[in-house]
Structure 1
Amino acid sequence: MKLLKNLLKIFLLLIVAGFLFIVFANYSIKKDSESFISYSVSDLPKVKTAVVLGTNKSLSNGNPNLYFKYRIGAATELYKSGKIESIIVSGDNSVKGYNEPEQMKLDLIANGIPADKIYEDFAGFRTLDSVVRAKEIFGQNKVIFISQKFHNERAAFLAQKFGIEAFGYNAKDVNKYAGLKTNLREYFAKAKAYLDIWFNVEPKFGGEKIEIK
């Protein structure tokens, strides 16, 4: 009986410790990144390249994914403002028939972005992969990430840890009800970002370097 009580205490302590770690990670990443991300184009520096972080164009029920739509809109606005010269579209292409970078590229072209200014990163399976590959594969040491605020916070945090001077242009967010699942998942994703740094996690794939002219 005493052993059972001790195990229960340890279990509860681990739960509390885990909860406190998640709170710490979220607070720390938000605080450290707040001066580098913005909803205003005028707040951002002029850089060579922006990275659009991937998501699927459509939801599982077939409806349009507003996260995707707003990121494409933000990328278009940023390019046409003259703040960037080229765009990396980084996302998942691990399954046949599922190609986030290609979807993003086609929509950017439809918005008037020249095709030769868009570079596809087909191995952006996670935010960490997209961040590190921007430097290691595409040779960029200073970038603007384009995604929703919660996502840019994490991307900017990871980039700084990997020696990248990073900024974030916040795309319009979806309403709280529609984005409830994503927002809840983000609490754990920020904690995972800290663990990735502590354990020196690397991108799933490397590859040949791609020159952005």
Structure 2
Amino acid sequence: MKYLKKIILFLTLLIFYIVIINVWVVYQAKDSTYNNMALIPKNKVGLVLGASKFTLNGNINLYYKYRLEAAYQLYKSEKIEFILISGDNGRKSYDEPTDFKNDLIKKGIPKNKIFLDYAGFRTLDSVVRSKEIFGLNSITIISQEFHNERAIYLAKNFKINAIGYNAKDINGRYGIKTKLREYIARAKASIDVLFNVQPKFLGEKIEIK
């Protein structure tokens, strides 16, 4: 019985911490995300946070599709000059940045306006590398709103001036599962900030021009 009470107490505190962190992340990103193209300020570079192109059943991943479209619209509306795509390329058969690049080129974005970060294994890596590798102190982050909020929270803690353009979100069962995982991801992000966790890889600097 004593151990059961300890487990219940631990779970209660854990849930409380997750809820508080979620509220704090939302607060940190307040007034920094945009749904309206006309209202978002201009930035030199838009940072697209990576996603797999296809789901496990072979269908197009809507998170990918909507981020791609958001990046395209920002560029065509002259809200950004360059697009930096940061994603996972941890194995030969999986290359998020190149998938985005190829599809953006098909939509008419010039090749020389697209830069790739192959070591964006997670959001922290993508955000911090945008500053440490690509020299960006100000960026427009492109993802769904829940993801943008966490990325902006991380950016603020690493002294990066970030705003977010919210790509279309996904509803239904899949969307709910993603948002539930986001609660855990935000708690993990807060721990990373607390312990000043750095990207898995850094490397040589790349100038975007």
* TM-score interval, smaller chain: over 0.9
Structure 1: unaligned runs, 5 residues or longer:
none
Higher radius of gyration, 1 or 2:
1
Which residue of structure 2 aligns with residue 81 of structure 1? Answer: 77
Matched residue type, 2:37: V
1:111 Cα deviation from its structure 2 partner: 1.0
Q: Quick one: distance in 1 between partners of 2:149 and 2:127?
A: 12
Q: Quick one: distance in 2 between partners of 1:34 and 1:78?
A: 21
Which residue of structure 2 aligns with residue 47 of structure 1? Answer: 43
Which residue of structure 1 aligns with residue 21 of structure 2? Answer: 25
1:186 Cα deviation from its structure 2 partner: 0.5
Which residue of structure 2 aligns with residue 196 of structure 1? Answer: 192
Q: Among residues 64, 68, 76, which one is paired with 2:60 in the alignment?
A: 64
Which residue of structure 2 aligns with residue 166 of structure 1? Answer: 162
Which residue of structure 1 aligns with residue 122 of structure 2? Answer: 126
Structure 2: unaligned runs, 5 residues or longer:
none
Moved more, 56-65 or 171-180: 171-180
SS of 2:140's equivalent in the other structure is strand
Which residue of structure 2 aligns with residue 135 of structure 1? Answer: 131
How high is the TM-score relative to the length of structure 2? Answer: 0.98
Q: Quick one: distance in 2 between partners of 1:135 and 1:101?
A: 18
1:195 Cα deviation from its structure 2 partner: 0.6
Which residue of structure 2 aligns with residue 115 of structure 1? Answer: 111
Q: Quick one: distance in 2 between partners of 1:149 and 1:72?
A: 14
- The C-alpha deviation readout for 1:66-99, integer Å capped at 9, x for no partner, is 0000000000000011111101000000011100
1:38 Cα deviation from its structure 2 partner: 1.0
Q: Quick one: distance in 2 between partners of 1:176 and 1:142?
A: 34
SS of 2:11's equivalent in the other structure is helix
Q: Quick one: distance in 2 between partners of 1:41 and 1:153?
A: 18
Q: Among residues 9, 31, 34, which one is paired with 1:35 in the alignment?
A: 31
How high is the TM-score relative to the length of structure 1? Answer: 0.96
User: How many residues end up aligned between the 2 structures?
Assistant: 209
Q: Quick one: distance in 2 between partners of 1:49 and 1:28?
A: 26
Q: Provide the aligned C-alpha RMSD in A.
A: 0.9
Matched residue type, 1:60: L
SS of 1:203's equivalent in the other structure is coil
Report percent identity of matched pairs. Answer: 54
1:9 is aligned to 2:15? no
- The C-alpha deviation readout for 1:119-142, integer Å capped at 9, x for no partner, is 000000000000000000000000
Structure 1: which 4+ aligned runs deviate by more than 3 Å? none
